[in-house]
Each structure stands twice: as structure tokens, then as C-alpha cells.
């Protein structure tokens, strides 16, 4: 047998036909499940609970302001009183959330001067909600340390 023939025979055996068929069945099953979910309007079960589904333990309306170049951030309450003045080493996550909020509001043509709601639910979940755009951030998804930065603002 010539070397080219041996290589061709080996290449045919590298990915078994059974594996290719099994992957095809997996793709078809996934498409079927997604199509079924969309056609029957199944709820998004992986989404965290909304306000009406879980009791609110604490809530505070706040304004976020951040310096995009340094990472410093400032958080104010509805009276304009400074709740937290965070330097770049402390305010990185808050500044990042401010950038995401600013992007969402600019995308929808909304005013940045409106406040957001910081909510702690009875389940312990901490969430930031923008009533202007419908944007929301479930803060535990960014890690306990980052969620704690916002939890401190509730006190």
C-alpha cells in the first residue's frame, strides 16, 4: 500500500461516521426544542424572578456618575446627597455599570439624568433596574465582591 493510500484510509477513520450522525441528531433536537419553545411562548425559566414574583426587602433610588477614563465613581441619592465617592481602585465596577447604563440609554435616546433603582429582594438577590429603558442588571452575576459594592449603597 502506498503512503498516500495509507493516509487516505487513516483520514477516513479520524472522525467516525457514527459521531457525525450523533452530532446531526443533537443539532436537530436542539432546533426542535427551540422551535417548540418559541411557538408555544414558553417563559424564560432561566431568568431571575421579577419584582412581582418575590418580595422586595429594601430599595433605594440612586444616581450613578462616573469618570469613564479613570474608573472613579460617585453615587447620589434622590436629594443630591453623595452616598459614596469612590476612587478608581474602589469604583471600577460601579463605573463599569454606569458605562453599560449610559450605553443602553444612549442607544434608546433616553436622558442620563434619570435615576435607577437598587433593589434587594427577600431571596437575597440584588438588582439594579432602569425604569426608563427597562434595562436591568442582576448584580450577583458579577461576583460577590462586586455585588457587595452595591449592597453597601443600600445602608
pLDDT at res. 60: 84
pTM for the whole thing? 0.62
Q: Note the pLDDT tens digit of each residue in 9-68.
A: 666 667 788 899 999 999 999 999 999 999 998 876 665 555 555 688 888 888 887 766
Check whether residue 16 and residue 91 sit in a common domain. no
Check whether residue 125 and residue 85 sit in a common domain. yes
For residue 45, being part of any structural domain is answered with: no
Sequence-ordered strand ranges (E) for the chain: 56-66, 73-77, 82-86, 116-121, 126-129, 136-138
Check whether residue 136 and residue 97 sit in a common domain. yes
CB 107: neighbour CB atoms within 10 A?
10
Q: Note the pLDDT tens digit of each residue in 62-77.
A: 888 776 667 677 787 8
Check whether residue 68 and residue 124 sit in a common domain. yes
Residue 10 DSSP SS3: helix
Distance from C-alpha of 35 to C-alpha of 71, rounded to nearest angstrom: 43
Helix or strand (DSSP H, E) at 66: strand 56-66
Amino acid at each position: 500500500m502506498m503512503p498516500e493510500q495509507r493516509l487516505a484510509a487513516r483520514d477516513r477513520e479520524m472522525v467516525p461516521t457514527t459521531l457525525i450522525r450523533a452530532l446531526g441528531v443533537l443539532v436537530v433536537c436542539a432546533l426542535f426544542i427551540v422551535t417548540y419553545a418559541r411557538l408555544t411562548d414558553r417563559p424564560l425559566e432561566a431568568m431571575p424572578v421579577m419584582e412581582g414574583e418575590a418580595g422586595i426587602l429594601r430599595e433605594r433610588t440612586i444616581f450613578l456618575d462616573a469618570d469613564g477614563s479613570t474608573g472613579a465613581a460617585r453615587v447620589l441619592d434622590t436629594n443630591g446627597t453623595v452616598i459614596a465617592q469612590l476612587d478608581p481602585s474602589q469604583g471600577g465596577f460601579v463605573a463599569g455599570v454606569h458605562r453599560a447604563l449610559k450605553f443602553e440609554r444612549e442607544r434608546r435616546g433616553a436622558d442620563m439624568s434619570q435615576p435607577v433603582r437598587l433593589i434587594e429582594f427577600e431571596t437575597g438577590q440584588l438588582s439594579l433596574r432602569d425604569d426608563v429603558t427597562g434595562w436591568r442588571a442582576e448584580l450577583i452575576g458579577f461576583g460577590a465582591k462586586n455585588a457587595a459594592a452595591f449592597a453597601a449603597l443600600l445602608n
